[in-house]
Structure 1
Amino acid sequence: MSWLGKIVGGTIGLALGGPLGAVAGAAFGHAFVDKREDEYLRSIPGSNGSGLSSNEEAQLLFFTAAFSMLGKISKADGRISEEEIKAVERFMINDLQLDQPSRETAKNIFRNAVTSSQTFEGFAEQFYSVFKYQSNIIELMMDVLLRVSSADGNISDVEEQMLLLASRIFNFSQLDYNRLKSRYVKKSDPYYAVLQCDENASNEEIKKKYRTLVQEYHPDKIQAKGLPEEFVKFATDKFTEIQAAYEHIRKIRGF
């Protein structure tokens, strides 16, 4: 994470305002000031006066949003369980492949978010304002929120309310939410949930959905978009998961 050294070194200027900027400022010991949302959305990476490239700023915002939202939702039912902590750590290591210094930074953001006066809703809205056109990143965020919320074997009512709030802010449909949730709260075949369709879908519907998802999550396509490096690992794992689910369903149905 090249941006991390720039922040720790104090060379950052404009980068991150709003609720996430408040948490980042407490975590890094720097002042973050507001920046127009459309500046995050430029497709060509490069210097923009902050000391960070556009991709690095997007990476910083995702990083801060993820651990801020996880901090709030983990504490929502009054306590942070050991299982939730382990789920957050697995996200750091397995999904984002963070090194030890980056994991310590993530934990610092998590702790500051738990005690911050900023709200889960504010974090979600700022995250969505930047990533609203990148559905795979939206899904990653919903996935990890559900993963951590269900880590102790149960999603409490207050956690469910926060999850549904996030899904509304992200324009994540109820159908997609239920399918994603079924990966962790088992009510339906998880292979169908991976392909974002239900068990009553026709063979043609399943094939069409498979082709769409393979195209969307192909690692080469993720790299070509210039997205932060952490998402390449996520896309690769997702791509493999989609292929495995499709093969499982195809063999069972015999098409």
Structure 2
Amino acid sequence: MGWLGKMVGGTIGFALGGPLGAIGGAALGHLMDSDNGQQQRELPNEAQMSPQGKAQLTFFVAAFSMLAKLARVDGQVTDEEMASIRRFMAQDLHLNAESRQMAEKIFYTALNAPQTFDDFALQFYQQFHDRPELLELMIDILLRVSVADGTMDKSEEALIETAVRTFRLPDADYQNMKSRYVSVSEKYYSVLGVSPSDDNDTIKKQYRKLVRDYHPDTIASKGLPEEFVRFAHDKFREIQEAWEAIQKERNL
């Protein structure tokens, strides 16, 4: 993530504003303190920062800020939960050492910050309200990490559901996303967001829509950090695999 090496803590808050700006600025400020001035970082101010750069920064800070509050919802963050966060960084996002360090700084800063999960979710929605596929991608991330230990705690699910409401996502879409992680039955249909009772034309239409939304060329234009683009590409492969399985099942 090349843009991480160009940031300076105080200007992140100015560039993003709001609760995410406060978290991002504080986190990078702490990171620079730990560098002991060894690295020279500079981030353009808000006027100079491109819309894509701001979107990338918003997504990165929001993801680890919201994950922090999700991990803390039951009052404490266990070693197992931290291990699942680190696995997500390494295995799903393939973050390099510098990016992992920044992600953990954001996580721990948000963990103890006065801002709430709802504060972060609202700012994220304000940034991406016209990009429903990115709103769904964030819910997907929250679900994936929350069930990394094999179960989803009720308090975690309740918090995720507040994000679903803030993002104004249909409950049926959320239930389909959740079923990918909490049930193995009807998995392929859930990946496509359809039901086994749907007819072939309905399933084909939904599959084509998802292909358009999550095609690598489309995702690349959405302003995501490169590691989250890779995560979205994995989701695109899941969509293709689900479609192939349903085709085989239905002899399409």
Q: TM-score, normalised by structure 1?
A: 0.85
Q: CA deviation at 1:231?
A: 4.1
Q: Given the alignment of the two structures, is residue 247 of structure 1 paired with residue 244 of structure 2, yes or no?
A: yes
For 1:165-187, what per-residue CA distance to the aligned partner results, in whole angstroms no more than 9, with x for missing partners? 00000111111111111111116
Aligned to 1:39: none
Q: Given the alignment of the two structures, is residue 69 of structure 1 paired with residue 66 of structure 2, yes or no?
A: yes
Paired residues for 1:53-202 under 5 Å: 53-186=50-183, 188-202=185-199
Judged with a 3 Å threshold, the aligned counterparts in structure 2 of structure 1 residues 180 and 123 are, in CA distance, closer, same or farther, namely same
For 1:2-53, what per-residue CA distance to the aligned partner results, in whole angstroms no more than 9, with x for missing partners? 33222148676830111112212221229xxxxxxxxxxxxxxxx7755533
Aligned to 2:204: 207
Q: Distance in 1 between matches of 2:248 and 2:12?
A: 53
Judged with a 3 Å threshold, the aligned counterparts in structure 2 of structure 1 residues 121 and 145 are, in CA distance, closer, same or farther, namely same
Judged with a 3 Å threshold, the aligned counterparts in structure 2 of structure 1 residues 225 and 71 are, in CA distance, closer, same or farther, namely closer
Equivalent pairs: percent with the same residue?
Answer: 53
SS of the residue 1:70 aligns to: helix
For 1:69-105, what per-residue CA distance to the aligned partner results, in whole angstroms no more than 9, with x for missing partners? 0000011112223333233223323443321011011
Q: Report if aligned partners of 2:147, 2:182 keep a CA contact under 8 Å in 1.
A: yes
Q: Distance in 2 between matches of 1:9 and 1:164?
A: 32
Q: CA deviation at 1:197?
A: 0.6
Aligned to 2:14: 14
Q: Report if aligned partners of 1:13, 1:50 keep a CA contact under 8 Å in 2.
A: no
Q: Report if aligned partners of 1:74, 1:148 keep a CA contact under 8 Å in 2.
A: no
What letter is aligned with 2:161? L
Q: CA deviation at 1:251?
A: 0.8
Q: Report if aligned partners of 1:97, 1:230 keep a CA contact under 8 Å in 2.
A: yes
Higher relative contact order (CA closer than 8 Å, sequence separation 6+): 2
Query: What's the C-alpha RMSD, in Å, of the aligned pairs?
Result: 2.2
SS of the residue 1:126 aligns to: helix
Q: CA deviation at 1:207?
A: 1.0
SS of the residue 2:203 aligns to: helix
For 1:198-247, what per-residue CA distance to the aligned partner results, in whole angstroms no more than 9, with x for missing partners? 12111111111111111111112223455543343233222211111011
Unmatched segments (≥5 aa) in structure 2: 31-43
For 1:128-158, what per-residue CA distance to the aligned partner results, in whole angstroms no more than 9, with x for missing partners? 1001111221111101111122222222222
What letter is aligned with 1:158? S
Q: Report if aligned partners of 1:13, 1:49 keep a CA contact under 8 Å in 2.
A: no
SS of the residue 1:117 aligns to: coil
Unmatched segments (≥5 aa) in structure 1: 31-46
Q: TM-score, normalised by structure 2?
A: 0.86
Q: Report if aligned partners of 2:8, 2:28 keep a CA contact under 8 Å in 1.
A: yes
Judged with a 3 Å threshold, the aligned counterparts in structure 2 of structure 1 residues 132 and 12 are, in CA distance, closer, same or farther, namely closer
